[in-house]
Amino acid sequence: MSATVNGGATQALPPFVPPPAANAEATAKKFTPAKLREIDRKLRQPFPPELISWKPQVVSYKGENSTAMGAAYADNRAYTDRLNQVVGSDGWSQSVVLSTSSTYEKEVKKKEKNPETGTWDIETSKILRTARISAVVTVTINGLGSHSNVGESDIADENATTSAYAQGFKRACTEFGLGRYLYDLPATGWLPYDTKSKKFKTEPQLPDWAIPREECMDCKGTISAVTTKDGTAHSVEQVIARSTEVHGRQLCGKCHLVASKKMQERAGKANIGVPAPGVAA
């Protein structure tokens, strides 16, 4: 395959060679069915709400009264962090093959304000000559196999390569169930949108089922973020990590304190250095 970009020299591009199908069979035996189900569950779990951002999918230009429908997405780091947490940094890998299309013409349309009526009903268009960058990304999880998908971006975008790669990477991850739920979110409806800052004036809300719930292994309640008496905030991930480190199981803040108190009593000491994450005063 070859491509000519913006009238430049033609460059030969390496062909995409998918990983051998035998890879999955060769490594799948290392996990028991129960472990595979656990990995699948953890990969499919929604991201924490603070990692979700919103971008306009469709915009209705009406000046100060503009509205837009939003689409939720998570940064690449949310995906890599989840993979590292679930299977370890040495439990997965990725490969990328980039290619560039031949140049082509496309029509770009734009809405402008009507000076007579004040409404955004004048549509202009122009023809641009451009090309697209494609990134075929293959994600391999040891014991589960490999999935490939493609991302694309207009070469006029200064971050075209990064955008194409990110899109392909996340699409490949969804084939393992990671981030797949974002495609199932209900429509946001038309929300107030600032065309200058390109942000929603009213941020869309996630449905309850799209917010992760971690269960305390003692009380079976939902683990929540907590704030200690000194005002230090601990995220759900920090609460789980601390209780697992100290007690060998994931606990909510209250059960962590109860378990720590019992540990101190057994040791016969007033304080053995295992406080918090505690509950807000």
CATH number at residue 145: 3.30.390.80
Q: What is the pLDDT of residue 63?
A: 82
The three-state secondary structure class of 270 is coil
* Domain count for the chain: 2
Q: Across all residues in the chain, what is the average pLDDT?
A: 83
Q: Based on the fold, state whether residues 224 and 277 are members of the same structural domain.
A: yes
Q: Could you say which of 165, 182, 209 is where a domain stops?
A: 209
Containing structural domain, residue 254? 213-281
Q: What mean pLDDT do residues 263-280 have?
A: 61
Q: Based on the fold, state whether residues 173 and 277 are members of the same structural domain.
A: no
Q: Which of 86, 50, 87 is nearest to 235 (CA)?
A: 50
Q: Which two tokens stand for residue 209?
A: 């089922």
Q: What is the pLDDT of residue 124?
A: 77
Query: Residue 104 and residue 151: Cα distance in Å, rounded?
Result: 18
pLDDT band at 270 (very low <50, low <70, confident <90, very high): very low
Backbone angles phi, psi at 160, to 5 degrees: -55, -45
Q: Is residue 214 predicted with pLDDT exceeding 70?
A: yes
Q: Could you say which of 183, 209, 235 is where a domain stops?
A: 209
Q: Based on the fold, state whether residues 250 and 131 are members of the same structural domain.
A: no
Share of the chain above pLDDT 70, in %: 84
**Cα separations in angstroms, 44 against 86, 89, 125:** 11, 18, 42
Tens-digit pLDDT profile for residues 19-31: 444 344 444 447 8
Query: Residue 226 and residue 212: Cα distance in Å, rounded?
Result: 16
